Amino acid sequence: MKKIALFGYSGHAYVVADAIKLSGYETVGYFERAEAHANPYSITYLGYEQDEQTLLPLRTEGIPGIVGVGENNIRQKVMYFLKRQGVNCTSVIHPSGIVSGVATIGEGTFVAAGAKVNPLAKVGAGVILNTGCIVEHECSIGDFAHIAPGAVLAGSVSVGEGSFVGANAVVKQGVRIGSKVVVGAGAVVLKDIPDNQTWVGNPAKEISK
């Protein structure tokens, strides 16, 4: 049985823990600043990852981890820290998630229930493809992006590193979304979005800062 360590244990991490369990894998424990008050999956608390000694069993036994943190910047920081400490990250795909055999998924990426990744899509490291989202053929998603529940990326869409596409948003085929972009829930994106912008609405438009 494959063993996985979970980093973070609230909110999004519960979704990841559920997928790990349903996939027939074992969560050996979770890492957090402090022991969680709620423990719906009865997972063992292993300590805080910044205390490097707590990671020793993972390095010794070659147990990979996955970062169950929804916020892109934090997920990135934790994954980079783990890499420096010699702990590998693994991807988790919910049993009802569908990933084409000719698509690629980076390390530490999570594919949630009902998510679909179609042929020749390229998904980076540390990405969240959340519940029921659709990543169509030949899309490209940068590291540490988050495609929220129900969002649809039509064919050949590009999403930059660290960007967030909100729940039920729709992105027209061929559109390029830059890095560190936020697309609001329900937005309909019909044209390219430069880096570091927030767009909302139908059709989506930039929110002035």
Point out the residues that are catalytic.
137
What is the spatial distance between Cα 22 and Cα 20, in angstroms, rounded to a whole number? 6
**In 10 A of CB 102, how many CB atoms?**
10
The amino acid at residue 64 is P
> b/e string for 156-180 if b means 16 or more Cβ within 10 A?
bbbbbbbbbbbbbbbbbeebebbbb
